[in-house]
Structure 1
Amino acid sequence: MKTWFLFGVILTTLFSCSHKVENVEKSFYYWKSDEWNFSEKEDSLLKKLKVNKLYVKFFEVEHSDAMGNYPISKTNLNMYRADSLTIVPTVYLRNSVFINASKGSLDTLANNVNFLINKYVNEKFDRQLPVKEFQMDCDWTLKSKDNYFYFLKQLKVLSKKEISCTLRLYPYKYPDKMGVPPVDKVTLMCYNLMNPLENHTKNSILDLEEMKQYLDTDNAYPLHLDVALPTYSWIQVYQNNQFSKVIYTDVKATKKILKPVKPLWYEVTKDTVIEDTYLRIGDKIKLEELTAGNIQKAISIIKRQIKLDKNTTITLFHLDEKQLSNYSNEELSGFYSDFCK
């Protein structure tokens, strides 16, 4: 009996152990479109955390029947420092771009994306800055999969760069159904797990039980996996019981004019203007925020359920002093170093 008991303990230990990363490359997403440079706090934070890599959203691509595909939300970030960071140009592409697209339009899209990225690198960044990787961000579906994958192949040929793309948890768990993108590596997005407007009782940014279910798979993903974690919070505004908008703001300051109603839900107690949005007494607010403890638990789950490579990039979303003020420098540093423990 003792032998079988010990054997069971050994098996449990083996299959519940976490997977340690030997070397973490620290990174942030930079997702702003209206800033010329980092704030002093953001610049200082990068140096204190020894972060040397940024995934910068260069622009987004929208689609309309009248205009076709067109870029919006172009970055205004400029960097001409001698000690420039490693910059990875990142482009967000709406899924609608790839629905019913022709091969000719996808060839044009790949050419335009490659051209515009290179134009921004030359105009807004140090010309000596070596850009080795482009990242594409798209929530592809079964209907858009083939066209999106074709675009990725064409971009690889044109750019002659390493191509990565973001990977949501659903296509991570079901690669046979959703396909494996033809890229060099993927970044697993461990947040935005559900539609924020459909489930009013869960935190749509990061729900640990939901994440566990998606990571519960016996098959290793066939591409190198990097990991992205959320460090942001937001409020969803409901006026006259109708969803109005999402606001990224200082959660601590906003709470001062909110009255708790039920888990995640608050009511505005004072007419206030926040981020150019007029909040009225009685407006309903769904506040989705993350603590350092939430993120640390997510890291434990990821380490336990995913076998990451020895060298992995961990990226926090995103570099914004208001959002990052919710965490101490020690906590932010731990979001990287915990993968090596």
Structure 2
Amino acid sequence: MLLRHKALFRTCLLLLLYSLFAAACTRHERQVRRGMYYWKTNVTLSQEEQAFLKQYHCEELYVRFFDVDLDPNTGRIVPVAPARIDLTDSALNIVPVVFITPAAIAQLEQNTIAVLAQNITGLLQRKCTEAGIVPKEIQIDCDWTASTKEAYFNLLHHLKREAFFTGKQLSVTIRLHQVKYIVKSGIPPADKGLLMCYNMGKLRNIKEENSILNVATAQQYLDNLEHYPLPLDVALPVFHWSVLFEKEQYKGILRDIDLDRLQDRQLFQPQTSHTFTVVKDTFWNGFELKKGQWIRYENSPAEDVQKLATFVAEHIPNDSLKVLLYHLDQQNLKNYTPDELEKIFTRF
């Protein structure tokens, strides 16, 4: 009897060791390419930004080329706000990104989709030619819903038929709710998706604590991640902003404001560690502020980003993927140590 128990124990131990070894091998064999988003109007890499990309072995740069939005004068849906692109680093794989606003996709009608696809393609091709970029992938960034998926998916079909898209991967951004409510949201007709692991809270709700990142919320939305049918890349946040409210109503986002800028007691009265009341009317850092307005500072704590990265890495089934950080900007990245940033990438 004792010998049987010992044999059973050895068998269980061997199975456990084999499982751990297999898991370690799987993690080791996963191919990970590193990259960054670049979300600015003037696309020119500073020496510091170039050094950052080299230091962290980032090969991918996802660049916002332009938006698609409603023209306020005509009501037509058109490409707007094109970026000025001046990139000379030939070692980088540049992925053009086109952002389609929720307002535009909500107003998109079936009889205008073909023309919009041609307009998007025409501007993309022109800007790529001017910048000397021959992309292998093009990304469409759109937060579609159940009510807008038909028009959006039809637009993707039309884009794929355009000659400029031939031989290129078409990727789309995937929000957390589109993973959780997969039946209602549908699967976009694209070659792959990029899972956006940020902007997951209710930005306009004054009771929200941090709309950028909440690990518990993300885990709830991604409990079926391994079953998502599109291959996925991953983007994680390394940014901050301040959200402005007036009489509990959302007024906008104050960008490029570090927490230490909000410590000025002549302008701001702290309510908590991350919320502040404006104490007098002022024009500050390019923003017009009024007495009584309320500011909520939001960021992406390194520990939380690493924790979320670990969760996603354990649940995403890909053998290979890209891991991106949003986004490449000195004001964002100075809030992290090199070790903290490296650990985000190495979680995968």
Deviation at 1:134, TM superposition (A): 0.7
Distance 1:280 1:148 in 2: 40
Q: Does 1:261 align with 2:271?
A: yes
Write the letter of the residue equivalent to 2:339.
E
Q: Does 1:321 align with 2:330?
A: yes
Q: Does 1:283 align with 2:293?
A: yes
1:25 is aligned, of 18, 30, 33, to: 33
Distance 1:259 1:24 in 2: 45
CA gap of 1:28–1:195, structure 2 versus 1, over 3 A, is same
Q: Check whether the contact 2:34–2:60 (CA below 8 A) recurs between aligned residues.
A: yes
Q: Check whether the contact 1:238–1:284 (CA below 8 A) recurs between aligned residues.
A: yes
Distance 1:146 1:263 in 2: 44
2:143 is aligned, of 139, 144, 168, to: 139
1:331 is aligned, of 340, 343, 346, to: 340
Q: Check whether the contact 1:31–1:318 (CA below 8 A) recurs between aligned residues.
A: yes
Q: Check whether the contact 1:156–1:162 (CA below 8 A) recurs between aligned residues.
A: no
1:304 is aligned, of 302, 314, 317, to: 314
2:85 is aligned, of 65, 77, 84, to: 77
Q: Check whether the contact 2:66–2:79 (CA below 8 A) recurs between aligned residues.
A: yes
Aligned to 2:204: 197
Deviation at 1:282, TM superposition (A): 4.6
Write the letter of the residue equivalent to 1:93.
I
Structure 2: tracts of 5 or more residues without a match:
none
1:45 is aligned, of 36, 47, 52, to: 52
CA gap of 1:73–1:302, structure 2 versus 1, over 3 A, is same
Q: Does 1:130 align with 2:134?
A: yes
Aligned to 1:206: 213
Q: Check whether the contact 1:185–1:223 (CA below 8 A) recurs between aligned residues.
A: yes
CA gap of 1:95–1:85, structure 2 versus 1, over 3 A, is same
Q: Does 1:162 align with 2:169?
A: yes
Q: Provide the aligned length of Structure 1 versus Structure 2.
A: 329
Deviation at 1:260, TM superposition (A): 2.9
Q: Check whether the contact 1:201–1:264 (CA below 8 A) recurs between aligned residues.
A: no
Using structure 1 for the length normalisation, give the TM-score: 0.87
Write the letter of the residue equivalent to 1:301.
F
Deviation at 1:58, TM superposition (A): 0.4
Aligned to 1:68: 76
Deviation at 1:69, TM superposition (A): 0.9
Using structure 2 for the length normalisation, give the TM-score: 0.85
Deviation at 1:218, TM superposition (A): 7.2
Write the letter of the residue equivalent to 2:93.
T
Q: Check whether the contact 2:205–2:250 (CA below 8 A) recurs between aligned residues.
A: no
Deviations 1:270-308 (A, max 9, x none): 77654411345553211111221111111122123333x
Write the letter of the residue equivalent to 2:142.
C
Q: Check whether the contact 1:271–1:279 (CA below 8 A) recurs between aligned residues.
A: yes
Q: Check whether the contact 1:236–1:246 (CA below 8 A) recurs between aligned residues.
A: yes
Structure 1: tracts of 5 or more residues without a match:
none
Percent identity of paired positions between Structure 1 and Structure 2: 31
Distance 1:204 1:306 in 2: 23
Query: Which structure carries more relative contact order (alpha carbon 8 Å, separation 6+)?
Result: 1
Q: Which of structures 1 and 2 has the bigger CA Rg?
A: 2
